[in-house]
Chain A
Amino acid sequence: MDIPLLQEVIFGLVIGSYIALGAIGFTLVYGLVNMINFAHGEFITIGAFVGYLTIVVAGLPLPVGIVATLAITAVVGWAIARVTFEPMNDAGAVPLLLMSIGLGFVLRNGMRVVAGPDRRSVRLDVTTYRFDDWGFFITSQQLLIIGLALVAVVALHVFLSRTMLGIAMRATSDNEDLALVSGIDTRRIRNTVWLAASALAGVAGLMLAISQAANPTVGYGQLLLLITAAILGGAGSPYGAIVGSYLLGIGITVSVAVLPSNLTELNATMAFVVLIVVLLIRPGGIVDTEVRAS
């Protein structure tokens, strides 16, 4: 008994997982630091290289490698943000955007100078679990990726709803002035945001190093998709970003099956079509974030 499209949905969950971690980080920065960070892809690439270094070069076992990648990328990303974005935090959204574009150029090409364009990847042993009766299969690597994303999402949820810092972040995201007035230290919030966004980017990078490779442009290639997912879900909302990412992932994979066979390469472009359709129906994104004063 073949469940129609089940296999495609599983593939979509995997792709959605790659996008989700990057999109959450991006949207946290967007909502709390009030900037579009076009260098977020480079943070992911840093995560990919750190993952390669910890697991392949240093030979750490996978779970340790994941935690190490997370921690190291968090600190590195925070440090970069501290040096480039924090000093001009009051300058406004557009200058920060421009700064992130310049930073992206520098990081992307800097990594190419140091690492070279060659391919490095993190290879794991993969077992395939077949369920031919139901018409699908799933691999251990895919389960790992979906699992990692799930853990990250749950951890984030716990952080945002149960910890003081998380609640303060949600308050700041909702209404920054009110948060300031009630004594929340927005500087500390921003630091936390950068750490969290970079940590998530690190895990996303590691996932890409496992399934694709660690090369200087691996994160940059995902940038457009994760921005689309973040906006689709509702700019600034991490929960929205999660929903948006999985929606996009499934949309991309299901459209391969649905599109006519000479147009299957448009499946990647379908992500953008989904975005436009959703925004036409719900201008605030899926989670329908409130319009901030313009």
Chain B
Amino acid sequence: MSAATDRLADLPIDATQAGLGLLGLALVFLASPLFFQPPPGAFVLLEVGVLFVLYAMILVGLNLQFGHTGLVNFGPVAFFAVGGYTAAILTADQPYQAVGLGLPWPIGVAGAVLAAAALGVLLGISTLRLRGDFLAIVTLAVAEIVHGLIISFRDVTGGSTGLFNVPQPVADATGAGGGADIVSTLLVFGALALVFYGLFRRLSAAPYGRVLRAIRADEQVTETLGKRVFRYKLVVFVYGAAIAGLAGALLVLYNGSASATFFTIDVTVIVWVGMLIGGAGNDRGVIGGLAIIMGFQLVTRFMNDAVPYVTQDQFASIRLMLIGLLLMAIVRYRPQGLWGDADRLGVDS
């Protein structure tokens, strides 16, 4: 990648250690009566930041699945949703029109990860033997089935209305309201994301990662070299599922509610677009790609007055067109992604 981030690689500590350190600091910060009130103008940036960090967690798993192992998973939102709703159902206290068990939030988080991982195992065992393109559509289908189930079983999940009264542990610990809560949340979630980023990076940098990339390049050869390809694929799939489930639980605990619109196909689109424009397989690059797309979405909100001769109503559609054009431009001139490796991705640019 660029020289600036290369210097990061030369630091004596790696991402996991940095993440753990930051997490420790964040927890101390939470426990203390201190809080940090950001300037009001930065609130929306922080809000998007929290979402960015959670999507980045999903992306890290997805990159391991697709960027390194070549598994085309078009349904990360399924695990995101399963994790989120599991955590919500387990921890909500008298939600409006749904089931809420009122259990402590750590159980919710653990339940979320387990449920998402379980779905990952189920799905992996039945479908990972499918050819790549078919896996793509099956994962997409599963995401739609999960969404359909959430809407239909409205007495359990709250359906389209949503599930409320979920605890908000970080906000409660900070207790200062408003922006301070978001800052604390960003610190904790950011630290967690960094930890997982580091862990997954270690995996991909190790010989384990080389096996994954060999599987991506040619499964049959890797199999003949004595590596149980299916096992590797399943494990990677479940890792991705679990981290997406965790991200879902965190989202729900941040908002204090679960809403069906948190878990739509738009999440899959953003995460995939971020990965592809950043350069699949490049661990730092994909995060950069996600930052670019989400940053662009945010910046364009402030351009309401920038485009002449269109009404405010029309501008909303133009804003989405601009996002589409950005995508098209990046793909046209850097098909392997801004930081992707053309050879490894088999792209002719």
Direct A–B touching, Cβ under 8 Å:
yes
Q: Determine whether the beta carbon of B145 is less than 8 Å from that of A106.
A: no
Instruction: Point out the residue from B134, B140, B314, B349 that lies within 8 Å of A283, measured CB to CB.
Output: B134
B269: chain A residues at CB < 8 Å are: 101
Question: Which chain A residue shows the least CB distance to B311?
Answer: A113
Among residues of B, the one whose C-beta sits closest to the C-beta of A231 is: B137
Task: Give chain A residues whose Cβ lies under 8 Å from the Cβ of B346.
Answer: 92
Stretch at the interface among A195-203, A206-214, A270-278: A270-278
* Segment at the interface with A among B96-104, B110-118, B235-243, B331-339: B331-339
CB closest residue in chain A, given B318: A113
Q: Are A106 and B126 in contact (CB under 8 A)?
A: no
Chain B, Cβ-Cβ closest to A264: B152
Q: Determine if B134 and A94 form an interchain contact, defined as CB atoms under 8 angstroms apart.
A: no
Instruction: Please tell me if the beta carbons of B277 and A272 are within 8 angstroms of each other in the complex.
Output: no
Number of interface residues of A (CB under 8 A): 44
Among A36, A95, A106, the residue within 8 A (CB) of B324 is A106
CB distance from A292 to the nearest CB of B (A): 8
Q: Which of B136, B324, B335 contacts A104 (CB 8 A)?
A: B324
Q: Which residue of B lies closest to A273 (CB)?
A: B145
**A91 interface hit (Cβ, 8 Å):** yes
Known: A235-B134, A283-B130. A106 touches B321 (CB 8 A): yes
Give A110-154 as 1s and 0s: 1 = Cβ < 8 Å from B's Cβ atoms: 101100000000000000000000000000000000000000000
Task: Give chain B residues whose Cβ lies under 8 Å from the Cβ of A268.
Answer: 148
A155 at the interface (CB under 8 A from B): no
B residues contacting the other copy or chain, number (CB 8 A)? 49
| Most chain B beta-carbon contacts within 10 A, residue among A87, A224, A285, A294 | A294
Q: Which of B280-303 contact A (CB under 8 A)?
A: 280
In the complex with contacts A103-B324, A113-B321, A291-B141 CB distance below 8 A: no
Determine if A109 and B141 form an interchain contact, defined as CB atoms under 8 angstroms apart: no
Q: Does A102 contact B (CB under 8 A)?
A: yes
B321 touching A109, Cβ below 8 Å: yes
Are A95's CB and B331's CB within 8 A? yes
In the bound complex, do residue A92 and residue B345 qualify as a contact, i.e. CB atoms below 8 Å apart? yes
Please indicate the chain B residues that have their CB under 8 angstroms from the CB of A294 in the complex.
131-132, 218-219
Would you give 13 A-B contacts (Cβ < 8 Å), ordered by A?
Answer: A92-B335, A92-B347, A95-B276, A95-B347, A98-B273, A103-B328, A105-B327, A110-B317, A231-B133, A276-B142, A280-B126, A280-B127, A283-B134
